[in-house]
Amino acid sequence: MIQKVTWKMRHKIHFIIFPVVLLLSLGGCDKNIPPEPDPNAGIVRDYSGQDGCEWVILMNSGEELVPVVMTDTSFHFYDGQHVEVWYTELDSVVTACMAGKAVRIDSIRNATCQGLKKWSKKLPKDDFGVDSVFIYDDCLVVRVNYGGGCKHHDFFLSLLPTMGPLNTLTLSHDSHGDLCEAFIHEPRAFDITSLQSPGSHSVTFILTLNIPGSAYRKEITYHY
């Protein structure tokens, strides 16, 4: 026997279904909302070519900071460095640099160290060059150059499974098929703390490039 659906029954059904649909729709929307940018994060730029300027920090918030006072005098900047910054505005201080506002850096830390990637024969082998290499804190910073400009490029540092007297690291580049012709120079930083050996305060390793036919081979000593 088929039961007739009354107005009251339809009203109850609508009352139950509507909140469920609303919750599902809200849950779906949350997944599509991008995370808010870190307001304390920024990127260091070398503005020494401009009158009265040297280092300027371009914050995610859009502000430009000119570090006038550094609480941590041991901290060193480099162009393209990603940092997290806590600062105090110095309203009474006027600088010759017109790029931003004068600040005292109360706290700052490096935020660019990428972990090592497990070595595999399937790592990308796209072409690139190296401008310079240095160690900052426990990061190996490699200033790379490559053609592109239309897509994000990935770099991976891996420890090769070799049995030689020195560890060998290889740097791989994935251009993701970017065929644009801009010539990009930028730093990439990698965490090398895994190379530390108990009872020692330094280790020497070799850096190579995961590019077919590459003769690049640089010996680097890491003090810790």
Predicted pLDDT at 208: 98
83 contacts 108 by C-beta, under 8 angstroms: yes
Predicted pLDDT at 25: 46
Q: What is the pLDDT along the chain (224 residues), one digit of tens a residue?
A: 545 555 455 555 454 444 444 444 444 445 455 455 567 899 999 999 888 899 999 999 899 999 999 999 888 899 999 999 999 999 999 899 988 899 999 999 888 789 999 999 999 999 999 999 999 889 999 999 999 999 999 999 999 998 789 999 999 999 999 999 999 999 999 999 999 999 999 999 999 999 999 999 999 999 99
Question: What pTM was computed for the model?
Answer: 0.69
- Closest Cα partner for 119 from 174, 162, 153? 162
Predicted pLDDT at 32: 52
206 contacts 215 by C-beta, under 8 angstroms: no
Domains of the chain, each with CATH number or no CATH: 41-110 (2.40.50.500), 113-223 (2.60.40.2370)
For residue 75, give the 3-state DSSP assignment.
coil
50 contacts 93 by C-beta, under 8 angstroms: no
> 212-223 in b/e burial notation, b at 16+ Cβ within 10 A?
eebeeeeebebe
pLDDT digits (tens, 9 = 90+) for 91-149: 999 899 988 899 999 999 888 789 999 999 999 999 999 999 999 889 999 999 999 99
**Bridge partners for 107 per DSSP:** 86
Q: How far is CA 200 from CA 1, 117, 192, 218, in A?
A: 86, 24, 15, 22
Round to whole Å and give the CA distance between 119 and 129.
Answer: 20
**Strand order, beta sheet including 202-209:** 154-159, 167-174, 202-209, 217-223
- Backbone angles phi and psi of 136, in degrees to 5: -125, 120
Token pair 């310079």: residue: 132
